[in-house]
Structure 1
């Protein structure tokens, strides 16, 4: 499939001599690597990085072609391929028939009807978060990412597993160790054997064993009691029990749950972290969110129907995800040769589409670095291509948890801003750290104040 009838061109880019320098930059500053290449070479470019060549496409039409129109020609790419050694064959890293089966098993648990029924669980976890934060009023800084991780894991436990993940207090740190290993696999292109006792690899192996123990305990508890037999845990237990080899079934179940919990909690925690940071820098926006939340919610906890009234809060979340999309990179590998936007893509090529750079393209976003929730309010100019904004990905691999993520982010942000104001710590710069999601380096320490 091609996007043009003109003769295909070779993508511009630096010579192979730059490969080592670019590999070092990828390890040090992946966002600068992407942004710099696009700024210098345009919407399509080719970068030699280590022993690989990356094909970068940064136009909505090109993203649409790779992610949707010709999606069958592209499988998961650099980063996710290498993360498989850390994450196994969960929904994030699997391919082909296995991925389709896994998606079919999990998808019903994320239907809009079921997600709407989970608003009470989200509100309950949001209330626990606000209570914890309220306990820090007048005291020293609190590491916000830890609090948000506890929130998002609690929500996933209640909504998808019918389980209390607060019973596993170390689970957030274990997921961090798994993510660190997955990104190490990317930065080294999986060239370092996992048996070498580097400190982070030792931490990863210990964390992996503990997470396997968590999965075993969750399964055992589910077998010992009745529950919602349509939640993700129940559906996965039924699906993996049909494997002819019980060991394969256990491995599949473990991989799916670890991947689901890692991706599910990390993306929403990152979105809320960036949103609260931006509100600290823009007090006039915080005030509008506070006033809207107070007017819609009063002094009660939110319900699903409140989403219709929290329109400005929703716009704030959408704009935060434009500037700092939780899924900042969508890597693919071309199965067969292709032509994208008139440029030749060879079979086996590593293809990258970056929501981070698409969302900051001045052709589609005036003053793209400015935080402006008005871009998403009713009546705003939306004359831009559909694929200029893809915070949850696009095409067949569109994020299965997008509805739950938005529900959680909007309701929890309203609850926080109604009661509290969070302020960054002077002298502690906020730096983006592009891992599996786009998180804030250092966990965003904040002080907590009453609204």
Structure 2
């Protein structure tokens, strides 16, 4: 990319540098094939602010902790959800991930109590049980060839989500994981095609999406029917959402809102944790000394028993490994916003209606805050290291009002699973399998993660 020197308007701030519009074909190809390279190279060449013009779209990428703080927290009211998430609305509707304003605040108020610390502590046993079952399933594969650990993790996280948040058994819906993959594929396709291909066009990808949307909507309707017939004490998300819609003047509107929220919760609630664990296994597996320390800590803290809630803060090195894994591969790799009104970020002018990007994947590699940023080093999250970094240099769960509501449950689940697997087993990636990051709505492992399983030694 070659930098341009746009004119400076000193009354409203400078225009960020960026590649000239004649590079649109190259940039569009990057957007389609290598989105991580697009944002990484822009930050590398143009610094903490870059203006990327791609056809009719102009993207403003900001890559400094102060910029993230401004957009996500200090002036969050000026920014609505942006590119990618707008496309996801076709299946997620107005769920918590995509909704705005008063609707979003009402949804957050309904769901927030389910994630409170007291309730979370009560769900730790469920997480421990499911993590133990995962280890048992993996142990049964020893000597029987490779297993796709990412598939196992997806199934695990869906079961945990069902039991802890919905008080429901999601294992009955075997196609749910594939349906969510089709949803993400469609959202990314619409983003890179700039919404120019209607969903009714019978492309294979779009046909899969339409079937997935129908299947997910049917799953939610089935869950609601079951809960209506088998009411609980009302402490779970499903019961709370059903109760919140009883007062709707138009019951169809209430049912649609409840469906949107449940689909969003199931997607976000399982995908991010499965991705976090997948990358943790990759990175720890590439560093035998890290895996050995994980194993030793799990043996010392847990002995031969399952983990309990009070163990969460004793598994300090396990937590450091997870934090470093999501530094390098944050499940929410990019945060997209649209400016309601013109703004100034770090001295740069942002016109009203602009697409603004805060990219944790790039920010977490900022050499000004992360020495040797590409190196996997859990010691970065030792207590003395954490206190010396700006708060907004590390935002794997977002920041400000839209900080991820389920982050504590996700970290509890990931900690228990990583500790139990490292205590009892050793996972080895197949030598010929190339690990590739796939930036969809979350940062996935393309093609899964085939591993062989051995007993810990």
Q: TM-score range by the shorter chain?
A: over 0.9
Q: Which residue matches 1:394? A: 399
Q: How much does 1:214 deviate?
A: 1.1
* CA shift in 2, pair 1:422/1:10, >3 Å: same
Partner of 2:326, secondary structure, is: helix
The reply to whether residue 59 of structure 1 matches residue 64 of structure 2 is yes
Structure 2 counterpart of 1:25: 30
CA deviation after TM superposition for structure 1 residue 6, in Å: 8.1
Q: Specify the alignment match of 2:229 in structure 1.
A: 224
- Say yes or no: does 1:448 pair with 2:453: yes
Structure 2: distance between partners of 1:241 and 1:268: 32
Quick one: distance in 1 between partners of 2:247 and 2:421? 44
- 1: CA distance between counterparts of 2:122 and 2:196? 46
SS of equivalent to 2:428: strand
Rounded Cα–Cα distance in structure 2 between residues aligned with 1:216 and 1:314: 37
Q: Is 1:365 the equivalent of 2:345? A: no
Q: CA deviation at 1:240?
A: 2.2
Mapped partners of 1:163, 1:325: distance in 2: 28
Q: Output aligned runs, 1:195-344, within 5 Å.
A: 195-344=200-349
1:443 is paired with a residue of what secondary structure?
Answer: coil
Aligned counterparts, 1:41-190, within 5 A: 41-190=46-195
Report the secondary structure of 2:447's partner residue: helix
Q: CA deviation at 1:84?
A: 1.0
> How much does 1:116 deviate?
1.4
**Would the aligned equivalents of 1:45 and 1:56 in 2 still touch at CA under 8 Å?**
yes
Q: SS of 2:392's equivalent?
A: helix
Q: Is the 8 A contact 2:60 2:356 kept in 1?
A: yes
Question: CA 1:180–1:336 in structure 2 vs 1: closer, same or farther (change >3 Å)?
Answer: same
Q: Displacement of 1:20 after TM fit?
A: 2.7
How far does the alpha carbon of each residue in 1:312-345 deviate from its partner, in whole angstroms, 9 at most, with x for none? 1011100101011111000000000000000000
Q: Normalising by structure 1, what TM-score?
A: 0.97
Give aligned pairs, total.
447
Q: Distance in 2 between matches of 1:423 and 1:402?
A: 28
Report which stretch shifted further, 244-253 or 289-298.
244-253
The alpha carbon displacement at 1:7 in A equals: 5.7
Following superposition, the deviation at residue 176 of structure 1 comes to 1.2
Give the match's secondary structure for 2:383: coil
Q: 1:25 and 1:308 mapped to 2: Cα distance?
A: 42
What do you get for the CA RMSD once the two structures are aligned? 1.2
Q: 1:381 offset after TM fit, Å?
A: 5.7
Structure 2 unaligned segments of length 5 or more: list them: 1-9
Q: Does the 8 Å CA contact 2:337/2:357 hold for their aligned counterparts?
A: yes
Contact 1:86 1:181 in 2 (8 A): no
Deviations 1:225-271 (A, max 9, x none): 23240211111111123221121112111111111100110000000
SS of structure 2 residue aligned to 1:379: helix
Alpha-carbon distance between aligned partners in 2 of 1:228 and 1:393, rounded to the nearest angstrom: 32
Normalised by the length of structure 2, the TM-score is 0.96
Structure 1: segments with no counterpart, 5+ residues: none
